[in-house]
Amino acid sequence: MWLFVLLFVSYLCRKLYIFYIIAAFFSSNICLQTSFSLSLQDSLIVGIKYRNQEMGKYCLPKSECGYTIGTICKMKKLQIRPYALESSLNGTSKSFKDELAVVSHFLMNKYLGLLVDYREEAELIMKELLSEKMVSQGMMGEPRMAETDMFSDFFNVPFLPNKDADFTFIDLFAGIGGFRLAMQAVGGKCIFSSEFNEPAQKTYFANYGDMPFGDITLEETKRYIPDHFDVLCAGFPCQAFSIIGKQQGFADTRGTMFFEIQKILQKHKPKAIFMENVKQLVTHDKGNTFKVILGILADLGYHVKWKVLNALDFGVPQKRERVIIVGFLDKSKIEKFSFDFDRKPYSLKDVLQNDEDVDPSLFVSDRILQKRKESTRAKKVFYPSIWHENKAGNISVLDYACALRTGASYNYLLVNGYRRPSSRELLRLQGFPEKFRIVVSHQEIRKQTGNSVAVPMMTEVAKRIKALL
């Protein structure tokens, strides 16, 4: 009789999902199997806490209907995230984004076998995320990040770092991780990332498994940078120096971001630096701006070489000229470093998709199509090609794309003269791998690729940096 009652109660508990909740708290090595709709706080932390070691990812899978953290978030059961309780560690409140940055960096560094100073804080946040008190109380909330696809399992990402990596680096002004792909490809492991733009954060998180910290100008953000790392990577904002912008340099707030790099170098003294910017930086203000930057690096003890490189020379069908700055504390190493690379062939055909696979909204109107045809009547037209319209309105027919630019006309680059490049084509033009996840709108991909770096070019430079560490 008692056995029957016990079995019946267990059955009811299972139906009510109490069984799984209890299991969550008393098992340390379980990949929970459930089909219930958890709140975002609950699902996130359960996924964090109960990582299936064999599968190498966080999950909430497998009963009749298995949910990852991503699919649970898509249910939109939680539209707002309460502010975290005031931290007893530093007396500040964090947004959910900031909490994700702390937790994801802690978990990723732990995965890499590295200890961080903010372990206690990360564990506190994880505990608070599960707090029934927080969930039950109607605290002031903030909107969740606009999209939810970013909430994939932290370790179920396309570009998980190699645990056996040879060196460490930090990724500042990270964008969508062009530097990271290059450095990971040659054996580096990223232990800190920072990016202010929210859609770019989302793309970064979906591909690498850690949410970048936000505003690097804040000391609150800088304190999460580990004391020791080998290379500082930074594609610091280029709009202040760009020919497309107003070229105000250090007079523009974005131009002062270099001084944040200065502060970090001054404190942490990594072995090497690896930076990128538009070629106009070299000549801005008759070269004075660049002299200031090189002078600061020299004062910090870095011996530097620089050169304007073109992505077109590295197998990428995009004319994208960027100044690359490499520096070492050890003078003998910079003396061995060389910017002389063999040119690699490129193929526009390998980048382009079939027209039938492209969103119809990317095809231009009949009016624009006719205008392009009239503009190229006296020119040699071939296919496949990119039709480029410059600021003066002149049209060039090329076997490569001119530089992807965030602020340029929507129609300044047209594939074969009749359609705009797709999101995947834009990523290919920057050398991003096919498995790179697209989790934002096409409009955002245009911005993100325009602000990014050509991965193959950066990878070749990264190889030579790594060889000298």
The rounded distance, in Å, linking the Cα atoms of 173 and 201 is 10
Q: Does the annotation count 238 as an active-site position? A: yes
For tokens 């460490």, what's the residue? 168
Do 311 and 319 touch, CB atoms closer than 8 A? yes
For tokens 């409140």, what's the residue? 93
Q: Order of strands, edge to edge, in the sheet holding 188-193?
A: 188-193, 167-172, 231-234, 272-278, 321-328, 303-310
| Beta strand residue intervals within 87-159, DSSP E | 141-143
The rounded distance, in Å, linking the Cα atoms of 418 and 430 is 21
Do 188 and 165 touch, CB atoms closer than 8 A? yes
The rounded distance, in Å, linking the Cα atoms of 333 and 310 is 24
Do 240 and 252 touch, CB atoms closer than 8 A? yes
For tokens 């106009």, what's the residue? 280
Query: How do 395-398 and 386-389 pair as beta strands?
Result: antiparallel
As given in the structure block, the two tokens for residue 170 are: 């930090």
35 three-state secondary structure? coil
Q: Measuring CA to CA, which residue among 235, 214, 160, 202 is closest to residue 438?
A: 202
Range 61-65 contact pairs with CB under 8 angstroms and sequence separation of 24 or more? 61/31, 61/33, 62/31, 62/33, 63/33, 63/34, 63/35, 64/35, 65/35
As given in the structure block, the two tokens for residue 184 are: 């990971």
Please give the distance of CA 257 from its chain centroid, rounded to a whole number. 18
As given in the structure block, the two tokens for residue 384 are: 């496949």
What is Dmax (Cα atoms) for the chain?
A: 95
Q: 305: part of which helix (H) or strand (E)? A: strand 303-310
Please give the radius of gyration of the chain, using alpha carbons only, rounded to the nearest integer. Answer: 25
The half-sphere exposure of 400 on its side-chain side, counting CA atoms within 13 A, is: 19
331 three-state secondary structure? helix
Quote the Cα angle for 257-262-267, to 5°.
130
- Of the candidates 31, 233, 238, 402, the residue annotated as catalytic is 238
Known catalytic residues are: 238
